[in-house]
């Protein structure tokens, strides 16, 4: 667990506005010094060049024609993009093993009219641990689904890329999936301009008292006990549930993973997050629903399967 906490603490230290100098070979073989988000290197490229190279996390992939596959990639400097990987389903393909779901890789692409083409790829981090842990896999699927749903094509957002890759690594390292995912959701919403109000009443602007209050999905934030009747659909939040959400927002994951919320508190927080994300995405999210269904149908060892 100490290693887990150290990993989470390291992420929190690096997730601010700190930048580092980095060196990397460009597609032309030259070395350039750049300032980048921690762990992310921007590769120099001329707009006239047909080939370009970038880091990416694989968000989705689906089969196309007889041997091809179309992948959705999230990149630090080109945002979300779709590309075709030709021949990757053939047994001897050199590209296929590197374009697995979740994989963080370095990709060489050739610009195309509708879809760019993957010409070379190398795995940086496969997050292989996620494929042997049902809980981690389900929550990782939810993270990449959120990024895919909430981002537009070709909109640069290096901090979001950094949040995604580090959150996937934390899940792979064994950080509590509930805490890691709730932290990811709040951070993602903040980066994209959907941050919920957790400290004041969104109706009267008063500071919230340490008493049970409610969250208004419609108004994107908390309602005090006096204003709660203004939204009959608001979701109740106990004092401890409010504290937990503020801990995730204010102090980050390193502190949150030390907390041990009971199932009732998790249910409160999950209900608020799920409902708010459903409104922001304007649709139901599939990944966690599938994961929950699988969990219900998979008996836990030593239990009666309830």
Q: Is 188 exposed, middle or buried (0-12, 13-18, 19+ CB in 10 A)?
A: buried
Q: Give 4-36 pLDDT, tens digit per residue.
A: 444 444 444 434 332 322 323 233 333 232 234
Q: Quick one: fold of 50-126?
A: OB fold (Dihydrolipoamide Acetyltransferase, E2P) (2.40.50)
Q: DSSP strand E in the chain: where?
A: 20-25, 31-36, 51-64, 68-75, 79-85, 104-110, 116-125, 213-216, 221-223, 235-237
- Residue 143's nearest CA partner among 203, 184, 173, 171 is 184
Asked if 170 and 11 touch (Cβ cutoff 8 Å), the reply is: yes
Indicate whether 112 pLDDT > 80: yes
Indicate whether 297 pLDDT > 90: no
Q: What is the pLDDT of residue 21?
A: 27
Q: What is the pLDDT of residue 39?
A: 52
Q: Is 179 exposed, middle or buried (0-12, 13-18, 19+ CB in 10 A)?
A: buried
Indicate whether 164 pLDDT > 70: yes
Q: Quick one: fold of 130-297?
A: de novo design (two linked rop proteins) (1.20.1440)
Q: What is the pLDDT of residue 34?
A: 27
Across the chain, mean pLDDT equals 84
Asked if 221 and 196 touch (Cβ cutoff 8 Å), the reply is: yes
Residue with the two structure tokens 């008292």: 209
Distance from C-alpha of 165 to C-alpha of 57, rounded to nearest angstrom:
7
Locate the domains of the chain by residue range.
50-126, 130-297
Tell me the residue length of the chain: 306
Q: Give 63-109 pLDDT, tens digit per residue.
A: 999 999 999 999 999 999 999 999 999 988 989 889 999 999 999 99
Percent of the chain with pLDDT over 70: 80
Asked if 83 and 118 touch (Cβ cutoff 8 Å), the reply is: yes
Distance from C-alpha of 282 to C-alpha of 173, rounded to nearest angstrom:
32
Distance from C-alpha of 76 to C-alpha of 52, rounded to nearest angstrom:
13
- Residue 76's nearest CA partner among 30, 28, 19, 117 is 19
- Contacts of 243 by beta carbon, 8 Å cutoff, 6+ apart: none
Percent of the chain with pLDDT over 90: 70
Q: What is the pLDDT of residue 43?
A: 53
- Residue 140's nearest CA partner among 95, 192, 175, 190 is 175
Q: In which band, very low, low, confident or very high, does the pLDDT at 149 lie, cut at 50, 70 and 90?
A: very high
The pair of three-digit structure tokens given for residue 285, joined into one six-digit string: 């999210």
- Residue 11's nearest CA partner among 178, 256, 194 is 256
Asked if 181 and 139 touch (Cβ cutoff 8 Å), the reply is: yes
Q: Give 209-266 pLDDT, tens digit per residue.
A: 999 999 999 999 999 999 999 999 999 999 999 999 999 999 878 888 888 999 999 9
Asked if 50 and 111 touch (Cβ cutoff 8 Å), the reply is: yes
């Amino acid at each position: 667990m100490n290693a887990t906490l150290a990993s989470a603490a390291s992420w929190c230290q690096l997730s601010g506005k700190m930048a580092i100098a980095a060196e990397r070979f460009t597609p032309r073989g030259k070395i350039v010094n750049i300032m980048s988000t921690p762990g992310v290197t921007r590769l120099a490229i001329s707009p006239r060049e047909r080939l370009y190279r970038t880091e990416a996390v694989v968000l989705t992939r689906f089969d196309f024609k007889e041997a091809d596959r179309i992948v959705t990639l999230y990149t630090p400097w080109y945002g979300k993009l779709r590309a075709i990987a030709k021949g990757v389903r053939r047994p001897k393909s050199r590209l296929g093993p590197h374009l697995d779901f979740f994989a963080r890789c370095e990709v060489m692409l050739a610009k195309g009219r509708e879809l760019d083409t993957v010409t070379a790829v190398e795995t940086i981090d496969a997050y292989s641990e996620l494929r042997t842990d049902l809980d981690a896999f389900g929550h990782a699927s939810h993270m990449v689904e959120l990024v895919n749903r909430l981002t537009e094509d070709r909109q640069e957002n290096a901090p979001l890329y950094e949040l995604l890759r580090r959150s996937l690594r934390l899940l792979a390292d064994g950080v509590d999936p509930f805490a890691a995912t709730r932290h990811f959701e709040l951070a993602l919403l903040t980066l994209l301009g959907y941050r919920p109000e957790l400290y004041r009443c969104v109706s009267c602007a008063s500071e919230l008292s340490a008493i049970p209050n409610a969250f208004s999905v419609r108004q994107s934030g908390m309602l005090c006990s006096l204003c709660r009747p203004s939204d009959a659909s608001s979701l109740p939040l106990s004092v401890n549930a409010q504290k937990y959400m503020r801990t995730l927002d204010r102090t980050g994951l390193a502190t949150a993973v030390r907390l041990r919320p009971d199932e009732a508190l998790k249910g409160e927080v999950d209900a608020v997050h799920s409902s708010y994300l459903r409104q922001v995405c304007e649709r139901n999210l599939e990944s966690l629903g599938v994961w929950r269904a699988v969990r219900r149908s998979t008996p836990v060892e030593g239990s009666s399967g309830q």
